[in-house]
Structure 1
Amino acid sequence: MKNVLLPLLLLLSCCTYGQKKFHVIAFYTGEQDQAHISYVHEANKWFDSVATANNFAYRPTRNWSLLNEDTLQGYQVVMFLDTRPEKPEQRAAFQSYMEKGGAWIGFHFAAFALTPSAVPANWDWYHNTFLGSGAYVSNTWRPTSAVLRVEDRKHPVVKGLPPTFKSSPNEWYRWSNDLTKNPDIDILLAIDSSSFPLGTGPKQYEIWHSGYYPVVWTNKKFRMVYMNMGHNDIDYENHTNKELSFTFDNPIQGKLVLQALLWLGRGKK
């Protein structure tokens, strides 16, 4: 990974001189699904490795009680790496933080909601107003690379990215809401049709053959970016739980993530 990170660091850190340092707090749970746990561990190492060169401080935590008004005052960006807050007071603190100009970046399972499940669709503001995606509907399987297409070439988050690029393997989500019909949502990346069929099954409904699937977007009413990436490939079939892929091994995808974070962290609250 060092060979991938070095040119990325040089490219982005060359513009950090004179920039005020910003602070990031990344919440995670890291208890459900080995693929999500693998991603969280990888993400924490990766963000920490690029923090100094890009002039930000990175604080990962499993202590969701820190999601309160007093603590959030000290951070310019909040991350949800794998889950969302469940307690009413934590949700209220996060909503207030965002409505007052705070910044957020979330990954993969952080947008998941399905009733009935252990993560029910019981937070309307977050899933419908803020994310715009609504509830989870289905996913591809197994984790597979996709060709991603840049949809908004003018947005700073995708600056310098090629028109299309191949992602790291991921489990891709489909949502109940049509994001293209929401005027507040700016879709930055979507799955390109050259990816189809996407997924290998074995169940046929886990393989996508057509459709439009946003994977990275922002809500223009908030300072936020959601990314559907965040599920590494794991050897479940042979019961080894061996990691078969890594999200940040992909330099273009790494550039996308870092540019999103820097855009949020250096913006005005």
Structure 2
Amino acid sequence: MYLGTNALHAQQKVKFNVIAFYTGINDMAHVSFVHEANKWFSKTAAQYKFTYDSTNNWNNLNEEYLSKYQVILFLDTRPEKPEQRKAFQKYMENGGAWMGFHFSAFALTPSDFSQNWDWYHQVFLGSGQYKSNTWRPTSAILRVENQQHPAAKNLPETFKASPNEWYRWENDLKANPDIDILLSIDPASFPLGTGPKQHEIWHDGYYPVAWTNKKFKMMYFNMGHNDIDYENKTNKELSFTFENKLQNQLILNTLLWLGNDRK
């Protein structure tokens, strides 16, 4: 079918450019999510007029490379080299936008991912170190805390998330005036997790799972851990993050907000 010049131009017009960084090596549950995310964002990009690129080369986290992109995604990990971290901080402080998933906020001293980046974990994310998690990966009922936020458009007050490993953090995000909590685990979810260890099952408490820092254009999502059959050693994928229409709407709303409403 022939498209007129104006129609062709409109179809090709790109609103913003997205670059996703990932490692895709550690933990099959995270690797599964990375592969799934790259497919979903690539497919969605064509429909909503943004470009989507991804890279596992964290050395691309530099000023020249980032100048082409309006939104950065961290799909599974964080930058480790000082020059990469410096470039990311400068990008964000100069009005860039960011969306991070699950393990991208993880830090625990001592571990392979020590808390050795105060700006990112204490200032930017506000969460501090990882404290604990639920197990096995299970669905949770999430409550929308800020229904006026653009990311919450067309979402009900509560909805069921895809199965996930849910994190608890060192810092009380409610007490941080810079943090705007978008989603938390609704009490209807409890008990959350199946164990076998008792501390892996949550029976009460308040757990933020998506938030933004009002000083930056950013959103962090706790989601990003698919369920894998580790127990029977088949390593079969048992769940997928992007097989959830309401959760997908949330992620898409967030991306369009970050890409179209830049500081």
Query: TM-score by structure 2 length?
Result: 0.95
1:109-128 Cα shifts (integer Å, max 9, x gaps): 00000000000000000000
Aligned to 1:247, the other structure's residue is in SS state: coil
Aligned to 1:101: 95
1:163 aligned to which of 157, 166, 177: 157
Task: Give unmatched runs, 5+ long, in structure 2.
Answer: 1-9
1:238 aligns with 2:232: yes
Superposition pairs of residues 22-41 of structure 1, within 5 angstroms? 22-41=16-35
Aligned to 1:77: 71
Superposition pairs of residues 8-47 of structure 1, within 5 angstroms? 20-47=14-41
Aligned to 2:171: 177
Following superposition, the deviation at residue 159 of structure 1 comes to 1.0
1:90 aligns with 2:90: no
Following superposition, the deviation at residue 19 of structure 1 comes to 7.4
Aligned to 1:191: 185
1:196-216 Cα shifts (integer Å, max 9, x gaps): 000000000000000000000
1:152 aligned to which of 146, 152, 176: 146
Following superposition, the deviation at residue 132 of structure 1 comes to 0.4
Following superposition, the deviation at residue 21 of structure 1 comes to 1.9
Note closer, same or farther for the CA distance 1:18–1:180 as it changes in structure 2 (3 Å cut). Answer: farther
Q: Percent identity?
A: 70
Residues paired across the two proteins, number: 254
Deviating beyond 3 angstroms after TM superposition, the runs of 4 or more aligned structure 1 residues are 16-20
Aligned to 2:249: 255
1:123 aligns with 2:117: yes
Aligned to 1:3: none
Contact between 2:144 and 2:157, CA under 8 Å: does it hold in 1?
A: yes
Following superposition, the deviation at residue 268 of structure 1 comes to 2.5
Aligned to 1:11: none
1:221-242 Cα shifts (integer Å, max 9, x gaps): 0000000000000000010100
1:149-196 Cα shifts (integer Å, max 9, x gaps): 000010000111000000000000000000000000000000000000
Task: Give unmatched runs, 5+ long, in structure 1.
Answer: 1-15
Aligned to 1:10: none
Following superposition, the deviation at residue 136 of structure 1 comes to 0.2
Counterpart-to-counterpart distance in 2, 1:113 and 1:157 = 26
Larger Cα-atom Rg:
2
Aligned to 2:205: 211
Aligned to 1:111: 105
Aligned to 2:242, the other structure's residue is in SS state: helix
Counterpart-to-counterpart distance in 2, 1:19 and 1:219 = 30
Name the aligned partner's letter for residue 234 of structure 1.
I
Counterpart-to-counterpart distance in 2, 1:183 and 1:56 = 32
Query: TM-score by structure 1 length?
Result: 0.93
Superposition pairs of residues 214-225 of structure 1, within 5 angstroms? 214-225=208-219
Following superposition, the deviation at residue 137 of structure 1 comes to 0.3
Task: Name the Cα RMSD after superposition.
Answer: 1.2
